[in-house]
Structure 1
Amino acid sequence: MKKIGNSEFSDRRSTAADAKAALLRAYRAAQEAAEPNREAKQAERLAAAEAREARRAEREQAKRDERSRIEAETAEREAALAAAARAEADARATTDTNSTARDLRDEATRKAERDLRYANRKARRG
């Protein structure tokens, strides 16, 4: 399209200023129209943020609980292993003690039998 007429710099400048003022008025009108919704949206965002924070705190608490449960189970397992090791060591010590006593008793019996054989042999010779 062709422009009709001769536009001067001042005409262009005033037209640009009018357009800028119209945009500003439209922006302000849109802001005023959105004011009731803005507060509702802000409250909605705040509620969503609080709910998100509550869920995060709940997840962290669940993680802490799980971690403490695992630590407790590990401690129980270690205590059970230590008790089993102590029981095995006690049984081994008892077995060793019994074995030692049995060995001493058996050796004493063999010595007594040997001494009896020697005594019988001397008795037969003499």
Structure 2
Amino acid sequence: MKNLKELSERRAAAAQAKEQLLKKFGAAPKPSDPDMIAKRTEREAIAAAREARRADRERSVQEDLARRTAEADAIARAASAEADAREADARDRIARILTDEAERKAERDRRYAARKAKHR
């Protein structure tokens, strides 16, 4: 019988705990309570401020990305212009070398022809 007594005591304790929980939640403030309305308004204001900060961060990241992209494009254009200038310089140098070689060959041929004409 001891077990039955313990079982009934445990059931009574559980029922009492449930009743206390129901009283606790029954005494909770209702959504229309002025304090609850003030807290909800405060939470909404905090959420709106958080969203504004997030949007500001996102805009800042987008601006930074656009700035970096523009800088990268400018660097690429400058590198391309520099490469084009080097290529043009190399072409000019090659053209000068070919012209100088042609002039030297023409001078050498002229001297050779003058020597041949002198011996005849």
Q: Which has the larger radius of gyration?
A: 1
| Stretches of structure 2 lacking an aligned partner (at least 5 in a row) | 1-7
Residue equivalent to 2:4: none
Residue equivalent to 2:90: 92
- After the TM superposition, list the runs of 4 or more consecutive aligned residues in structure 1 that deviate by more than 2 angstroms: 22-30
Equivalent positions of 1:42-121 (< 5 A) are: 42-121=40-119
Using the TM superposition, give the Cα deviation of residue 28 of structure 1 relative to its aligned residue in structure 2, in angstroms.
3.9
| Stretches of structure 1 lacking an aligned partner (at least 5 in a row) | 1-8
* Equivalent-residue separation in structure 2 for 1:25 and 1:78 (angstroms): 73
Using the TM superposition, give the Cα deviation of residue 71 of structure 1 relative to its aligned residue in structure 2, in angstroms.
0.7
* Equivalent-residue separation in structure 1 for 2:21 and 2:60 (angstroms): 53
Equivalent positions of 1:16-55 (< 5 A) are: 20=19, 24=22, 27-31=25-29, 35-55=33-53
Matched AA of 1:62: S
Q: Give the percent of matched residue pairs that are identical in Structure 1 and Structure 2.
A: 30
Local SS of the residue matching 1:31: coil
CA RMSD of aligned residues (A): 2.6
Matched AA of 2:100: R
Distance 1:119 1:50, change over 3 A: same
Distance 1:106 1:36, change over 3 A: same
- TM-score, L = length of structure 1: 0.73
Using the TM superposition, give the Cα deviation of residue 121 of structure 1 relative to its aligned residue in structure 2, in angstroms.
2.2
Matched AA of 2:98: T
**Which structure exhibits the higher relative contact order, with contacts defined as CA atoms closer than 8 Å and separated by 6 or more residues?**
2
Using the TM superposition, give the Cα deviation of residue 106 of structure 1 relative to its aligned residue in structure 2, in angstroms.
0.9
